[in-house]
C-alpha cells in the first residue's frame, strides 16, 4: 500500500541525515534533530525564520542549486541570532554548499505554515454528476477533493491512449526525449526507471506487468509541441472548468501498475485536475502536519472516465492502483 506522510517524512529525514554526515556535519548535533536547532515558537528569531522561509518559498525557483535548506536555515538562524543581521542570514543560506538535490523534503521544510480551515470537517470527496460550467462555479477554486463522475468518458483518449501509443510517439518524434529531459518533469516515484527512455526501453513482459515482473509507475510532462499537438486531439479540458481560468501550456501523463504515487505535496502555481482514462485508482489524502489535530486522513476511489480535482499543494496525496490493473491519467492544472 501507499507510504504514509509520516513514514515518508521520516525516510527523507534519515536520508538527509546520512548525506549531511557524509558531507562532514557532526552526527551528534544532527541527532538532536532539526526542530531542536530551531528557535522557540514566538521568539524574535522564530519570527525571522518565518520571514526567511516565506522569502525562500517565493524565490525557490531562482535558486540555481538546491541547498540543504532545512539544515542551512537552522545553521543560518543560529548565526543570525548572534549578529542580528537578516540580510547576512539570507546570504549565508544562498551561499551554502549543495548537499541535496531540490526535493520534496526541502520544499516541505521551507513552505509557509497554513491555517487548517481548508480541511476541517472534510472526510470524503464531493461527488458530482453531469455538472454544467454554470453549476460548477460554486465549487470552482475550492481546495477539493471533487470527483466529477464520467466527466471524461467521451474523450477519444479512452480508446486511444496506451503504453504502446506513447512509446511509438516518443520513439518517432525528433527531440521528444530531450524535451522531457530539458524542459519537463519526470517522476519515477517508487520505480527503478529514471527517465522516459528507461520507461520505453522496458521489455514487453515488464511493460505489461507479466507474472513475476516488477511493477512500475511513472509520470511526466509532455512539452514537445508536436507531441502535444497529437495527443490533444484525443482529450479536451473538462468543459465545466471556469471559462476564465488560467491553464498551463502542457499536460502530464501518469501511468503504470500497482505502486502509484508516493505521499507528497505539489509545488505548482494552480489547482490540479485529472482525467482517469484507464484503470481504477485509490487516492489517499492526509492534511499537512500542522493540521493533524483538526483534520483526518481518508481515501477515495476513482474509475475510468472520472475527473478528479484537488488542491495538491495543501493536501498530501498518494495513489495506488489495484493489483493487475493498468492505470493511465491525463493531469493538468487550472487556477
Ligand X SMILES: O=C(O)CCC(=O)C(=O)O
Closest CA to 139 of 126, 123, 120: 126
For residue 17, the 8-state DSSP code is H
108 binding ligand X? (CB under 6 A): no
The least CB distance from residue 51 to Fe ion, in Å, is 28
The least CB distance from residue 316 to ligand X, in Å, is 10
284 binding ligand X? (CB under 6 A): no
C-alpha cell at 43: 521568539
C-alpha cell at 8: 515518508
Contact residue for Fe ion among 222, 312, 329, 332 (CB under 5 A): 312
The least CB distance from residue 150 to ligand X, in Å, is 18
The least CB distance from residue 334 to Fe ion, in Å, is 15
260 binding ligand X? (CB under 6 A): yes
In the list Fe ion, ligand X, none, the entry touching 251 (Cβ below 5 to 8 angstroms by class) is none
* Contact pattern for ligand X over residues 290 through 329, marking x by CB under 6 A: ----------------------x----x-x---------x
**How many residues contact Fe ion, by CB under 5 A?**
2
Using the minimum distance from each CB to ligand X, give the nearer residue, 100 or 218: 218
Rule CB under 5 A: which of 215-274 touch Fe ion? Answer: 266
The least CB distance from residue 287 to Fe ion, in Å, is 15
Distance in angstroms (rounded) separating the CA atoms of residues 306 and 294: 29
For the chain, the maximum distance between any two Cα atoms, rounded to a whole number of angstroms, is 64
Distance in angstroms (rounded) separating the CA atoms of residues 21 and 60: 25
In the list Fe ion, ligand X, none, the entry touching 254 (Cβ below 5 to 8 angstroms by class) is ligand X
272 binding ligand X? (CB under 6 A): yes
Distance in angstroms (rounded) separating the CA atoms of residues 187 and 196: 9
With contact defined as beta carbons under 8 Å apart, do 104 and 69 qualify? no
Which value, to the nearest 10 degrees, does the dihedral of the CA atoms of residues 78, 81, 86, 91 take? -30
Distance in angstroms (rounded) separating the CA atoms of residues 316 and 264: 5
3-state secondary structure of 3: coil
3-state secondary structure of 317: strand
The least CB distance from residue 71 to ligand X, in Å, is 27
Nearest-5° Cα angle at 311, 308 to 317: 75
With contact defined as beta carbons under 8 Å apart, do 180 and 335 qualify? no
Bridge-partner residues for 331, per DSSP?
252, 274
Using the minimum distance from each CB to ligand X, give the nearer residue, 110 or 312: 312
Contact residue for ligand X among 12, 258, 266, 311 (CB under 6 A): 266
In the list Fe ion, ligand X, none, the entry touching 274 (Cβ below 5 to 8 angstroms by class) is ligand X
Element at 89 (helix H, strand E): helix 86-95
Using the minimum distance from each CB to ligand X, give the nearer residue, 209 or 317: 317
In the list ligand X, Fe ion, none, the entry touching 331 (Cβ below 5 to 8 angstroms by class) is ligand X
186 binding ligand X? (CB under 6 A): no
Strands 281-287 and 217-222, sheet pairing: unpaired
Using the minimum distance from each CB to ligand X, give the nearer residue, 240 or 315: 315
* Residues in touch with ligand X (CB under 6 A): 254, 260-261, 266, 272, 274, 312, 317, 319, 329, 331
* Residues in touch with Fe ion (CB under 5 A): 266, 312
Amino acid at each position: 500500500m501507499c507510504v504514509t506522510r509520516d513514514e515518508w517524512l521520516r525516510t527523507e529525514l534519515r536520508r538527509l541525515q546520512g548525506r549531511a554526515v557524509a558531507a562532514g556535519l557532526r552526527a551528534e548535533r544532527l541527532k538532536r534533530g532539526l526542530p531542536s536547532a530551531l528557535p522557540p515558537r514566538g521568539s524574535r528569531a522564530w519570527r525571522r525564520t518565518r520571514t526567511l522561509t516565506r522569502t525562500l518559498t517565493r524565490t525557490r525557483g531562482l535558486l540555481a542549486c538546491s541547498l540543504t535548506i532545512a539544515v542551512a536555515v537552522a545553521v543560518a538562524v543560529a548565526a543570525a541570532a548572534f549578529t542580528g543581521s537578516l540580510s547576512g542570514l539570507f546570504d549565508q543560506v544562498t551561499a551554502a554548499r549543495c548537499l541535496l538535490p531540490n526535493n520534496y523534503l526541502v520544499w516541505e521544510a521551507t513552505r509557509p505554515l497554513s491555517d487548517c480551515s481548508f480541511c476541517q470537517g472534510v472526510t470524503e470527496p464531493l461527488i458530482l454528476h453531469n455538472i454544467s460550467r454554470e453549476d460548477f462555479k460554486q465549487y470552482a477554486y475550492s481546495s477539493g477533493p471533487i470527483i466529477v463522475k464520467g466527466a471524461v468518458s467521451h474523450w477519444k483518449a479512452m480508446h486511444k491512449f496506451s503504453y504502446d501509443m506513447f512509446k511509438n510517439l516518443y520513439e518517432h518524434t525528433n527531440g521528444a526525449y530531450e524535451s522531457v529531459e530539458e524542459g519537463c518533469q519526470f517522476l519515477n516515484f517508487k520505480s527503478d526507471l529514471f527517465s522516459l527512455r528507461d520507461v520505453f526501453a522496458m521489455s514487453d513482459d515488464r511493460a505489461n506487468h507479466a507474472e513475476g515482473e516488477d511493477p512500475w509507475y511513472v509520470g511526466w510532462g509532455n512539452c514537445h509541441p508536436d507531441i502535444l499537438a497529437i495527443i490533444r486531439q484525443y482529450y479536451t479540458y473538462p468543459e465545466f472548468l471556469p471559462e476564465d481560468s488560467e491553464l498551463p501550456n502542457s499536460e502530464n501523463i501518469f501511468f503504470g501498475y500497482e505502486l502509484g504515487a508516493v505521499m507528497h505535496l505539489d509545488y505548482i502555481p494552480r489547482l490540479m485536475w485529472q482525467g482517469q482514462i484507464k484503470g481504477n485508482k485509490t487516492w489517499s489524502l492526509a492534511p499537512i502536519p500542522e493540521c493533524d489535530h483538526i483534520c483526518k486522513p481518508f481515501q477515495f476511489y476513482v474509475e475510468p472516465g472520472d475527473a478528479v480535482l484537488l488542491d495538491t499543494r495543501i493536501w498530501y496525496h498518494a495513489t495506488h492502483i489495484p493489483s493487475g490493473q493498468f492505470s493511465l491519467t491525463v493531469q493538468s492544472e487550472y487556477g
